[in-house]
Amino acid sequence: MEYAHIPVMTNELLHFIESSASRGAGILVDCTVGEGGHSELLLSRFARLRIIAMDRDADILEAARRRLKPYAARIDYINDNFSYISRHLDTLRGKIHYFLYDFGVSSFHLERSGRGFTFARDEKLDMRLDGSGVSAYHVVNTFDEKRLADIFFRLGQERWARRIAAAIRRARVDGPVGTTGELARIVLRAIPKKFHVRNIHPATRVFQAVRIFVNDELACIEKSLGQAYRLLASGGRIMAISFHSLEDRIVKEKFRRLSRGCECAEGERDCRCAGEGLVKILTKKPLRPHVEEVESNSRARSARLRVCEKL
Ligand SMILES: C[S@@+](CC[C@H](N)C(=O)[O-])C[C@H]1O[C@@H](n2cnc3c(N)ncnc32)[C@H](O)[C@@H]1O
C-alpha cells in the first residue's frame, strides 16, 4: 500500500529518543498518528517501545490501524482530539516517556480525504478533521466581511485579507461559494498580479487560515502541551514538529514558561508559579530538516522541531 504522507524529521526524532533516559523503552504517545509513518518507524526501531496512537480523524486512524497491524501487541488507539489527552491517559500519569506531536494535516487529507483542504483539487469546502463544529463552507458563506478579514489576517498572516474578504462578500451575491476551486479563483483575482509569488499559490494563506479556524488548531495545541507535561515521567521528553510560525510560537512559549517553573496557560492572570524550572529545553532554536530531506520531500521544508525534557 502506498501511503500519501512521508514522515518528517525522522533522524532527529530517533536521536532524541535514543539519547533519552529510557533509550526508547517505555510508552510513547503519538498524538498525531496520521497514517502511522512515525509510529511504524519507531515501533520497528525500538523493540521495548509501546505506543498510544491518537488522531481526531477516524478515517486516518483506520488507515494507521491497518498499517500498524504487525505491531498490534504494542499499540493502542484513541480517536479523539489531543486537547483531551488527560481524559484518556490520567491513569498513566508519571508513566509516559515520550509525547510526539506532528501538527497540521497529513498529505492524506490533501490528496485523498475529499474534504476540500486544498486549492489543488476542486472539492466541496469542508476542511473539518473530525466532522465537529462549523465547516469551511459555513465560514466562507456566512461570516461577515470583517470577521473573514480578521481570520485571514490573524491565522494566515495574509496582507490582502480585507480585499479578499470584500471579494468573497461580492461573490456571495451570485450564490454560495461552494468549492475549493471557486474560493481559490476569488482569492487569485483579489490579489494584484504583481504581488503573486512564483511557485506559491496566492490562495495558500487563506486556505491555511480557514483550516486553522475550522479545527481550532492553535487552542488545541495550547491546551494539550500542559497536559502532556503533567502526564510525563521525569526524564521524559515532549517532541513537537510545527509547520508555521503560529504553531511554533505556542510550543516555544509553553516550553519557555515550563522551563521557568510556570504551569499556567498563556495569558492566565494571577500566575503564582515561581522558582524551579520544570523542564529543560533541549533545542535552544528549533531544529530544521536537512537539505537532503527537503529535496526528497518538499513538505518538510517548513518543519521545525522543538524538544523539552521533564526534570
Ligand atoms: C502531519 S499529520 C501526522 C503524520 C504522521 N506523523 C505520520 O508520520 O504519518 C497530522 C495528523 O494530526 C491529526 N491532528 C491534527 N490536529 C489534531 C488534534 N487536535 N488532535 C488529534 N489529532 C490531530 C490530523 O488528523 C493528522 O492526521
32 lines ligand 1 (CB under 6 A): yes
36 lines ligand 1 (CB under 6 A): yes
Helix (H, G, I), strand (E, B) or coil at 209: helix
115 lines ligand 1 (CB under 6 A): no
- Closest ligand 1 atom to 40 CA: 8
Using pLDDT thresholds of 50, 70 and 90, give the confidence band for residue 227: very high
Rounded to whole angstroms, how far apart are CA atoms 165 and 156? 13
The per-residue pLDDT for range 171-185, each reduced to its tens digit, is: 999 999 999 999 999
Residue 1 is predicted with a pLDDT of 63
Ranges 71-85, 143-157, 263-277, 280-294: which has the least confidence: 263-277
Q: Whose CA is nearest to atom 13 of ligand 1?
A: 32
Rounded to whole angstroms, how far apart are CA atoms 141 and 22? 51
Q: Which residue has the higher pLDDT, 1 or 165?
A: 165
- Closest ligand 1 atom to 34 CA: 27
113 lines ligand 1 (CB under 6 A): no
Residue with cell 487560515: 209
Indicate whether 199 pLDDT > 90: no
148 lines ligand 1 (CB under 6 A): no
CA 239–ligand 1 middle distance (angstroms): 14
The CA distances from residue 183 to 72, 109, 177, 180, 211, in Å, are 42, 18, 6, 5, 13
- What amino acid occupies position 291? V
Q: Which residue has the higher pLDDT, 3 or 59?
A: 59
Residue 153 is predicted with a pLDDT of 98
CA 8–ligand 1 middle distance (angstroms): 12
| Domains present along the chain, CATH in parentheses | 10-105+217-310 (3.40.50.150), 109-215 (1.10.150.170)
- Count of beta carbons in the 10 Å neighbourhood of residue 83: 19
Measured CA angle at 124 (ends 123, 128), to 5 deg: 105
